[in-house]
Chains A and B, each alone.
Chain A
């Protein structure tokens, strides 16, 4: 007993007190604070990246939705129309008439800036094609006085939006300082206005020399047909595969092989699916290149693992009591699955499908390989069958095409295309979230 009491009080450390932290504790607390700070810093970094990304998308993409137009009153006489149509280079003749009319109009308005027809050509670019198709679409307009809204050339457009400034503009055959004087004068009088560019949303792709006329509409249609193929194929196949694996499959080597395959396919790089599409669908089966059908088939194979994984999760979430009850009243195994389990799992399946489709919509790499990039989507498909089989572009492929063109005016279009693509993705994800919120069931 006595020796216990002599040893009982451990040698108290010098200055140890609950009220004063010793250096060791302080060090440990400091480490704790620092560690916590690292974590917070990491999260702020992640969120910062997200903000930078969002800001740069919106800042660079928003200008694509507006464009500057010149409002010109113009009359094409019957004789001029006849003459222009009889020439070999028809558009050039239209352009000459138009430029002459505009020059006269500006002179009448008394602009005190020196300019000539070349200046006008540099400002509004090639207008002949637009004017010709305008009159050919409705010949009654010939002879009438009409107000044309013509988009200005891409460089002037850039100047008005602030992408090109006077300082970094070198006099070139494309645009000179004197041209900008005229542009400024026209803007002061309200002849050049900035308007919402519907043509970007509804238009088709243009050639490399006409960034102003490029629109994303045709490739939206291409993407739509592709998603249709993906939906029609991957939903039934994915659901059937999941039902088999989740409800019927015996545990044997075959089922194991399928499981391993599905989890591996989910991680195969998308470009490899592109190679598959190229080799099997185009080289071997000779399906048409750049067709939305082929793109849809490739994306179906890519989306299947995603859909199967989410479908299996929602089938698993249906409690076994439902199956037991169905079997108990005399349903067959197949009936219990198709009449009871599947309807209950449907909201989850649809959510997973929409998310899979959203992923497929943004996928680019496989589309490069099946030829959706070299193709310039100059027109809308004529009908439903053509929509699947005629070469077309898709939104991400179109964005890539624009991004790889030399003219920086196309970059703006690419960013604008990204905004359109992200709006679609956002809409799909919101639908998925609403579906989940509304129909999710906790057992």
Chain B
């Protein structure tokens, strides 16, 4: 039974539960709703919740667990010798899955009868024939164990689907009975509903924790997997990055880390002075009218998607720099994609980030400090340089740290603007590459997910996550300390 139908049936049951609960409560009170503990609708909601929530829970857990359990059972039943040289259990299992979806397709297209798809006599030849008839892609010869594993998987999946439907419907019906049994004039339906609602709210709030957990777990599992097949000492010790899918790749992180930091440095050199001075001017000098026009305009820069900046780097800034620093001009630059290109554009992107954060922080410096300074005869710029900036320094440092973490995690600009060569060089007009760019290139190829060349992306992601998290936490602590100082 398709899940959609199941959901619809449960929803109908819940709707029915709503009216049944409400009616039952009212009839118990003799039609006089003043004798009920709660408003009549609450009795309905109580029944509806008790139908929908358990069924939805069963459905979710089952949908998540079934592929895992079925996979484990099938793996356990496979003979050990299907895993040939140069292959792995994962590869065999993905072949099994492909065969399963092929069989499903063939049955759905009507070229193979359901009985035939189940029969133990089914062989590779018949499958490829049927698949070709159904207009699907046919891979090479399938070994017999894979076919029987696929049949077993189909059977288990099928049985699982039926069991799931049964379990979900049973949960829904049990919930309905439970709700109707307890419904009566004296039943505290509002409290029950509100407790249920509160649980839903808590669950929604916990999703943030679950997301973090998901990120951390998916990174850690794959990183551990990576370090099992590739030594960590090489990853953190080697100075070359040259992945080759044929094997013998060297995957040292340093060239990528250097590229990341170099580009971020250039971006900060562009963004910090401009952003900071813009913030100072806007908060201390600009009239209200100028401020109300300029501030939103600068913030437009922050709302532009990064793909736009990436294209801007690749197609506008790169060629422009080439004209000045390329072979026609100074001869320092070999191609339009370079550290300088990506850094400059990233700097532009970060300007509003630095300026609006610093603006907030400068505005938070108490007026009394300014007044004190003016009272001693200082000019406005002297006040800013000698009083306001030192007072706001921790906050500004925090803002710069946040901008750094943004720069380190930025992807599209470097993918399009920085080039693809991993090298350790000091020349800002060389093409270099970054952690984020390599995550993209290692995971968007056709490599299978068990090779070190693909898994390295998770180790890179882990590095990135740890660096940006550390920067964010330090920045938040610094900013919070600073805020408390003046509150």
Chain A interface residues toward B at CB < 8 A: 28-29, 31-32, 35-36, 38-43, 45-47, 49-50, 52-53, 56-57, 60, 236-238, 240-241, 243-245, 248-249, 257-258, 261-265, 267-273, 275-276, 278-280, 283-286, 301, 304-305, 308, 332-334, 358-359, 361-365, 368-369, 371, 373-374, 385, 396, 399-400, 403-404, 411, 414-415, 418, 421-422, 425, 429
Contact = CB atoms under 8 A, between A and B. Distances in A.
Contact of B381 (A32, A262, A363): A32
Contacts of B280: 39
Contacts of A43: 277-278, 281-282, 294, 298
Specify the main secondary structure of chain A where it touches its partner: helix
Nearest to A276: B215
B212 A265 contact: yes
Interface stretch (B26-34, B103-111, B304-312): B304-312
Interface of B: 4, 64, 67, 97, 190, 194, 197-198, 200-202, 204-209, 211-212, 214-215, 218-219, 221-222, 273-278, 280-282, 284-285, 294, 297-298, 300-301, 303-308, 310-312, 314-316, 348, 351-352, 355, 379-382, 384-385, 402, 405-406, 408-412, 415-416, 436, 439-440, 443-444, 449, 457-458, 461, 464-465, 468-469, 472-473, 476
A206 B469 CA distance: 41
B198 to A, nearest CB: 7
Contact of B412 (A267, A334, A364): A364
Contacts of A257: 209
B198 A248 contact: yes
Specify the main secondary structure of chain B where it touches its partner: helix
B211 A269 contact: no
A418 B315 CA distance: 13
Given A271-B440, A286-B67, 8 more contacts: A53-B308, A241-B208, A269-B464, A271-B461, A275-B457, A369-B443, A396-B305, A399-B311
B356 to A, nearest CB: 11
Contacts of B449: 283
Contacts of B382: 28, 31-32
A42 B281 contact: yes
A260 to B, nearest CB: 9
B472 to A, nearest CB: 4
B205 A269 contact: no
Q: Which of B205, B277, B408 has the most CB atoms of chain A within a 10 A radius of its CB?
A: B205
B278 A42 contact: yes
A256 B315 CA distance: 46
A248 B311 CA distance: 46
A335 to B, nearest CB: 8
Contact of A272 (B206, B207, B461, B472): B461
A263 B254 CA distance: 30
Contacts of B276: 42
A332 B190 contact: yes
B294 A422 contact: no
A272 B205 contact: no
A360 B297 CA distance: 21
Contact of A244 (B97, B205, B410): B205
Nearest to A275: B461
Contact of B274 (A45, A285, A362): A45
11 contacts: A35-B380, A43-B281, A50-B300, A56-B316, A258-B208, A264-B472, A267-B405, A269-B465, A271-B409, A275-B457, A369-B439
A301 B348 contact: no
Nearest to B308: A418
Contacts of A268: 215, 409, 465, 468-469
A237 B204 contact: yes
B384 A35 contact: yes
Given A271-B409, A280-B214, A240 B305 contact: no
B218 A271 contact: no
B90 to A, nearest CB: 10
B304 A271 contact: no
A362 B316 contact: no
B303 to A, nearest CB: 7
Q: Which of B274, B402, B416 has the most CB atoms of chain A within a 10 A radius of its CB?
A: B274
Given A47-B297, A50-B297, A283-B449, A403 B314 contact: yes
Nearest to B409: A269
